Chains A and B, each alone.
Chain A
Amino acid sequence: MVVKGRVWRFGDDIDTDQIYPGKYLPLTDKHEMAHHAMEGADRGDEFIRKVKQDDIIVAGRNFGCGSSREHAAVAIKGSGVSLVIAQSFARIFRRNAVNIGLPILELNTVDTIKNGDLLQVDVATGEVTNISQDKVYRAAPVSRLEMEIIKAGGLLQYLKQIKRNEV
């Protein structure tokens, strides 16, 4: 699975209220939810107006901390973002992202990646090519099990595809 897109750079400890403000929790329409992705973060307004299909979010430590709201991952995926790279993820966000089919990668050297850089990423191997800076980084590869779920489009799609005795 290879994705290519422009970087939206965010900092450390981006919590679920920054990713998807609590006031929008009553929304159930996924397209409506997508319009509020990253709204509470710095430069959230710009993100909402300008985010394009296949763009990539790059953040620091503990991305997705805070509440267990699945809306956060759903909104990011709905906004067109193809991948989230962070130095580390909060447990529940990581699980939710995989379960809804949003690819994620953990990369120690996110610091050198700049806003607007063009990245090409092989999600399965963790190879991150920064085309703008002519650099290659190695992210921890996503586990085979998580990759299968992401490829299926999420946990429920995956469970529908496989038979009871296969997992």
Chain B
Amino acid sequence: MTIIEKIFGRHAGKQVEPGDYIWTDLNLVTMRDFGGPNVIMEYLENFGEHPVFDKNRVAITFDLHIPARTEQVAQNQKILREFALRQGLRLFDVNTGVGQHIILENGLVKPWDIVVGTDSHMNLLGAVGAAGFGMGTTDIAGALYRGRLWFRVPQTIKVVINGALQRWVTAKDVILLVLKHLKTDGALNKAVEFAGTAMSTMTLAERITIASMVTEMSGDIGFIEPNLNVSQFIKSRVGQDVEAIAADPDAHYEKEYEFSIDGLTPQIACPHLPDKVKSVEDVAGKEVDQVFIGSCTNGRFDDLALAGQILRGKKIAPGMRLIIVPATTEVARQALKAGLYDIFLSSGAVITNPGCALCTTGHAGILAPREVMVSTSNRNFIGKLGKGAHVYLASPATAAATALTGKITDPREVSHGC
């Protein structure tokens, strides 16, 4: 059995196969400041003040429009705060950060869990062997009421990544390479398992980067078998031993892909699709107005530290705006302690409060028509960050190098002596 077949099988209490329709229990139901208010309105309309299925298995996270910047958003956030108060639910307010990262840091997720939420990148929880699914408001309202939802068991495809990364080449470059080949519908309605020699040693931050972009391939979820470091992180947060999770050796995969990353160069997704991937070398020199480092894909401490290595002691290009946003407050404090805030501020960066930041026009820093941004986020759809703006997706290293020169730059070009 593949990992998703095992998780669904355990939760459904029977052996399952791809194509089966099942009901399962849920370990955690989440909603965020976007989508969440609609969930609550739908819940109240249908179930009134009926207590949720289990108040200890619900988490509300604020990560998109934080703190509120319009009256409408303020009103939406109030709906969530008041519901949480009436129902005794855990709420992570505007001072915390990206929801999926917050529930990981707070020990609310472990391998084998099924977690649902109103965020399309909920599936990055596959980085720790948990099944996370982004869903619509009706699903989440039903999940709040009953603690159970229906699923169609997906086929699984396997992506084997072998080899070792060169310096300044990152997990982001690896997943962009995969996207280049699988395209934006390459994992449609499927689970993905990442394996191979390159995967086994990857850190939690790197795994999150990879798992998060399965959404951009239209996949349901991307799993990476947890290694010792990941298990220890989860154990320290959950406060109990972590059960291992892995596919069976004879698991059936619908398709298998193999990539070698020996010699991989920094990659970049060009406007306006995440699979329009080229080598950074091939688009180097393109003028850039703004750089964003952060997001659920690249907002961990390791990501910021990598950018810090390139920015240390240097200034960003004249006219460049560099916006850096830690994924969570925990990450921000780590960065502060490590001296990264000083490096960033000295380089000329703007650092804003932890959250999703520049993934939508809901955040400060959106672009004017025809402006160009290099972003470490996961989507570059047309209009998503300002009408007529052009967004390139790249690693924190490429983003930092680009901020220094004002042009798309291979990090290996500016990293001498770093």
Interface residues of A in 39-91 (CB under 8 A from B): 62, 68, 70, 90-91
Whether A155 and B139, one on each chain, are in contact in the complex, defined by CB atoms closer than 8 angstroms, is yes
Whether A156 and B142, one on each chain, are in contact in the complex, defined by CB atoms closer than 8 angstroms, is yes
Q: With a CB–CB cut-off of 8 A, which chain B residues contact A100?
A: 138
Whether A70 and B150, one on each chain, are in contact in the complex, defined by CB atoms closer than 8 angstroms, is no
- Band of interface residues on A: 20 to 34
Whether B185 and A62, one on each chain, are in contact in the complex, defined by CB atoms closer than 8 angstroms, is yes
Whether B21 and A145, one on each chain, are in contact in the complex, defined by CB atoms closer than 8 angstroms, is yes
Query: Which of A28, A99, A164 lies in contact with B136, CB distance below 8 A?
Result: A99
**Is B137 positioned at the interface, with any CB of A under 8 Å from its CB?**
yes
- Interchain nearest-CB distance for B377 vs A (Å): 16
Query: Which of B22, B46, B72 lies in contact with A156, CB distance below 8 A?
Result: B46
Main secondary structure of the interface of A (DSSP, over half): helix
- Docked pose: A146 CA to B142 CA in angstroms: 15
Q: With a CB–CB cut-off of 8 A, which chain A residues contact B21?
A: 143-146
Interface residues of B in 79-121 (CB under 8 A from A): 120
Whether A91 and B142, one on each chain, are in contact in the complex, defined by CB atoms closer than 8 angstroms, is no
- Docked pose: A90 CA to B219 CA in angstroms: 11
Whether B120 and A68, one on each chain, are in contact in the complex, defined by CB atoms closer than 8 angstroms, is yes
Encoded as 1 (CB less than 8 Å from any B CB) or 0, chain A from 15 to 43 comes to 00000000000101000000000000000
The chain A residue sitting closest to B145, CB to CB, is A159
Whether B138 and A156, one on each chain, are in contact in the complex, defined by CB atoms closer than 8 angstroms, is yes
- Docked pose: A146 CA to B141 CA in angstroms: 17
Q: With a CB–CB cut-off of 8 A, which chain B residues contact A154?
A: 138
B interface residues, tally (CB under 8 Å) = 27
- Interchain nearest-CB distance for B333 vs A (Å): 32
Whether A96 and B138, one on each chain, are in contact in the complex, defined by CB atoms closer than 8 angstroms, is yes
- Interchain nearest-CB distance for A10 vs B (Å): 19
Whether A156 and B136, one on each chain, are in contact in the complex, defined by CB atoms closer than 8 angstroms, is no
Whether A160 and B46, one on each chain, are in contact in the complex, defined by CB atoms closer than 8 angstroms, is yes
Query: Which of B72, B136, B145, B188 lies in contact with A95, CB distance below 8 A?
Result: B136
- Docked pose: A26 CA to B152 CA in angstroms: 31
Whether B23 and A167, one on each chain, are in contact in the complex, defined by CB atoms closer than 8 angstroms, is yes
Interface residues of B in 20-50 (CB under 8 A from A): 21-23, 41-42, 46-47
**Is B309 positioned at the interface, with any CB of A under 8 Å from its CB?**
no
Whether A95 and B220, one on each chain, are in contact in the complex, defined by CB atoms closer than 8 angstroms, is no
The chain B residue sitting closest to A101, CB to CB, is B138
- Docked pose: A92 CA to B138 CA in angstroms: 12
**Is B134 positioned at the interface, with any CB of A under 8 Å from its CB?**
yes
- Interchain nearest-CB distance for B198 vs A (Å): 28
**Is B146 positioned at the interface, with any CB of A under 8 Å from its CB?**
yes
- Interchain nearest-CB distance for A99 vs B (Å): 4
- Docked pose: A70 CA to B139 CA in angstroms: 10
The verdict on A99 contacting B188 (CB below 8 Å), with A68-B120, A68-B136 known, is no
The verdict on A91 contacting B188 (CB below 8 Å), with A68-B120, A146-B21 known, is yes
The chain A residue sitting closest to B42, CB to CB, is A156
**Is A107 positioned at the interface, with any CB of B under 8 Å from its CB?**
no
- Docked pose: A90 CA to B135 CA in angstroms: 13
The verdict on A155 contacting B142 (CB below 8 Å), with A96-B136, A146-B21 known, is yes
- Docked pose: A74 CA to B113 CA in angstroms: 31
The chain A residue sitting closest to B20, CB to CB, is A143
- Docked pose: A162 CA to B46 CA in angstroms: 14
Encoded as 1 (CB less than 8 Å from any B CB) or 0, chain A from 136 to 167 comes to 00000001111001000011100110001001
**Is B148 positioned at the interface, with any CB of A under 8 Å from its CB?**
yes
- Docked pose: A68 CA to B218 CA in angstroms: 12
The chain A residue sitting closest to B120, CB to CB, is A68
Whether A167 and B145, one on each chain, are in contact in the complex, defined by CB atoms closer than 8 angstroms, is no
Q: With a CB–CB cut-off of 8 A, which chain A residues contact B405?
A: none
**Is B346 positioned at the interface, with any CB of A under 8 Å from its CB?**
no
Q: With a CB–CB cut-off of 8 A, which chain B residues contact A95?
A: 135-136, 139
Encoded as 1 (CB less than 8 Å from any A CB) or 0, chain B from 144 to 173 comes to 011010101000000000000000000000
Query: Which of B135, B148, B220 lies in contact with A167, CB distance below 8 A?
Result: B148
Q: With a CB–CB cut-off of 8 A, which chain B residues contact A145?
A: 21-23, 150
- Interchain nearest-CB distance for A37 vs B (Å): 17
- Docked pose: A155 CA to B138 CA in angstroms: 7
**Is B189 positioned at the interface, with any CB of A under 8 Å from its CB?**
yes
- Interchain nearest-CB distance for B47 vs A (Å): 8
The chain B residue sitting closest to A146, CB to CB, is B21
The chain A residue sitting closest to B134, CB to CB, is A68
- Interchain nearest-CB distance for A17 vs B (Å): 10
- Interchain nearest-CB distance for B152 vs A (Å): 8
- Interchain nearest-CB distance for A154 vs B (Å): 7
- Docked pose: A155 CA to B72 CA in angstroms: 28
Q: With a CB–CB cut-off of 8 A, which chain B residues contact A90?
A: 188, 218
Q: Which positions in A face B, CB cutoff 8 Å?
A: 26, 28, 62, 68, 70, 90-92, 95-96, 99-100, 143-146, 149, 154-156, 159-160, 164, 167
Q: List 21 A-B contacts (CB under 8 A).
A: A62-B185, A68-B134, A91-B189, A91-B218, A92-B134, A92-B136, A95-B135, A95-B139, A96-B138, A99-B138, A100-B138, A143-B21, A143-B152, A145-B150, A146-B21, A155-B139, A156-B141, A156-B145, A160-B46, A160-B47, A167-B150
Closest 9 CB pairs of A and B: A145-B21, A167-B23, A99-B138, A70-B136, A143-B21, A156-B46, A155-B142, A96-B136, A159-B146
Q: A70-B138, A156-B142 are in contact. List 8 more A-B contacts (CB 8 A).
A: A62-B185, A96-B138, A143-B152, A145-B23, A146-B21, A155-B142, A160-B47, A167-B148
